[in-house]
Amino acid sequence: MIFEKLLLSLWHKNVKAMPENKKTQSSVSPSEASKQPSESVQQYGLKAHDYVQVQCCSGKRCRKNDSERIVNLFKMMLHAHGVDDMVDVVTSGCFGFCAKGPIVRILPDNITYTHVKPEEVNVIVEKHVVRGELVEELRYVEVTAQHIEVESQHWSSFKRPVSLDSMLGNYIYEIGGTPFLNVLSYAIDAEKCRGCTACKRNCPVGAISGTVKHPHVVNPYKCTCCGKCKSKCKFGAIDGPIGVLDERNSVNDVLADIENTDKLVVAQTAPAVRFALGEEFGLAPGTVVTGKMVTALRQLGFDYVFDTNFGADFTIMEESAELIDRLKRHMAGDPDVKLPMTTSCCPAWVNFFENDYPDLRKYPSTCKSPAQMFGTLAKSYWAEKIGIPRENISVISIMPCVAKKYECARDEFIYDGIPDVDCSITTIELAEMIRTHGIDFVNLPDSAFDDPLGKATGAGHIFGTTGGVTEAVLRTAYETFTGKPLPKVEFTQVRGMDGIREATIDMDGFELKVCVVHTLNNARIIMDKLRAGELDYHLVEVMSCPGGCIGGTGQPYHEGDISVLEARQQAMYATDVTKMVRKSHESPAVKQIYDEFLGKPLGKKSHKLLHTHFRDKSILSD
């Protein structure tokens, strides 16, 4: 703090010592800023915008380079300049060019500064934020800004994010200059792309453009990171999500954490993984390999192996409470209640509505996904229990979903520069790690998840299939809403594989109307109806992948064989039946954490830790 105090005192001293005609140039109040004459054609910061955001990268290497100190200095200097009410300082996920940290990005100007030192913070605040001028000596300009045609040069040679520019009528990469807003997406290697159009035909959001036999291009501002394009590419031309971790680096990061003796490395495994992992080792679709998977993870070097299904139980508790709260407020005549409430645990779906339906972003549940809830609890409740600081715990999620790589890097899931989930790898990546380490998976003995974050209910298990989230939520919502026990645990009316399914649930006289949707093409149908005021439901579940997470693009590819998905789904339901506890609100472990730590579902503390918010990204995708 000595440096911070010295910097602040020097700033005050310099301002007081300045002649009056100089003060207005270097220390400008927000009201004065708009009155000053323009010094250049283009202005930035508060000269050009009513609101400015300062993003400070909190990737691993930036944190090692003291990015947290940079964050605190920005807050101090903005306050000293009297503009802290107009400027928000936030930490972000990795920007993708780590060797240049600490990295700071100013929005909405989209200007990035690299190698930012503590003594340079006030320069950025005073010159860029207040006076509206660029700090050229710090600006990211490694490569001269230019347009380079796809055919001649590809973004991967620069190892940094790309953007799509159609201003000239064709698709080109813009290399150098200012990196665009922290957008993560897939990217196509022009040298490998054969122009077969498979990716373009299978992209559910129209983010890919190109013509037959010519390299295609991904628009990063429309990409939802769902991974459909990559699963269809036969030429290995698609990488991503770029900006966080490609698959090689995901595994390398996991191995690095395991080898770090200062880190306690925790694995959490999604429900769908255990029903598909065996296929990578010659087992039949739907073979349950939970015990072998846990054993393999321990042999790989993970210190603890927990169950994401346990996180799903908390998502169920919070989401059912949120649904009931909205229903009761709606029945009481509250005009501000947004119904139907949609689910929000699928990150590709979240990306989709933030891009294409931002005006409807108050409809989704604010609950974090099970993986993110697990990460939060592991680095708060459990960290306190075992007496280890959250920064010394690395949470690795093993997911059926490539979009989870994007999700764990979202700004709102990073607290004080430390992500709740450090890294996400897919089912396929885990299988490759097992093979690389020479583990004989098929002949492994079974072992159980660790306590206490491995005691999941049957409701948590069925989260991984289409209709499973709805059914799990209904098991708790019904008994909470009616005060009566369920006559039957299963809600078979929401099960199946149809793309859009409807059901009406009798909640002791109240007819709860639900809809279950999978694939983003079907989600668009539903969202268009919602926007038009034609949707008469109370709860809508959306999953971007066919069949839900069991058909995720991080799973062994099913080649469109629906029987593979059905086998995984049936195994999931069969596992649910074997569980002693099948409703989340009846779980002793869940009750204990609410009693000891969280309070109650949708309470002050649980809402702070287990809920999130959504963004308007339409300005990017337009």
The catalytic residue positions are 319, 322, 345, 365, 404, 407, 412, 549
For 414-482, strand residue ranges (E) read 414-415, 418-419, 423-426
**Closest to 524 measured CA to CA, from 535, 536, 510, 539:** 535
Backbone angles phi, psi at 172, to 5 degrees: -140, 160
Long-range contacts of 382-386 (CB under 8 A, 24+ apart): 382/452, 382/453
- Bridge partners of 267, per DSSP, are 305, 396
For residues 455 and 578, what is the distance between their CA atoms, to the nearest angstrom?
14
Read off the amino acid at residue 584.
S
Q: Taking Cα atoms as reference points, which of 192, 250, 252, 199 lies closest to residue 228?
A: 199
C-alpha dihedral over 36, 41, 45, 47, to 10 degrees?
30
Show the tokens assigned to 504: 């009406």
Three-class SS of 251-266: HHHHHHHHHCCCCEEE
**In contact, 92 and 182? CB cutoff 8 Å:** yes
What CA–CA distance (Å, rounded) separates 308 from 24? 55
Distance CA 267, CA 398 (A): 7
- The total of other beta-carbon atoms located within 10 Å of residue 281's CB is 19
Neighbouring C-alpha atoms within 13 Å toward the C-beta of 347:
27
- Tally of CB atoms within 10 A around 194: 15
The rounded distance, in Å, linking the Cα atoms of 435 and 350 is 33
Lookup: tokens for 191: 């040298």
> What are the structure tokens assigned to 484, written together?
């009566």
The Cα–Cα gap between 93 and 406 comes to 9
Mapping DSSP to helix (H, G, I), strand (E, B) and coil, where does residue 504 land?
strand
How many helices (H) and strands (E) would you count in the chain? 24, 21
Cα–Cα distances (Å) from 269 to 241, 310, 425, 566, 602, in that order, read: 20, 10, 10, 21, 25
Q: Residue 455: what residue type?
A: K
> What residue type is assigned to position 451 of the chain?
D
Q: Are residues 324 and 600 in contact, defined by beta-carbon separation less than 8 angstroms?
A: no
Give yes or no for a contact between 412 and 91, defined as CB atoms under 8 angstroms apart.
Answer: no
CA–CA distance, 104 with 138 (Å, rounded to integer): 10
Edge-to-edge strand list for the sheet holding 304-307: 304-307, 264-269, 393-399, 423-426
- Evaluate whether 397 touches 253 at the Cβ level (below 8 Å): no
- Residue 490 CB contacts under 8 Å (≥ 6 apart), including other chains: 471
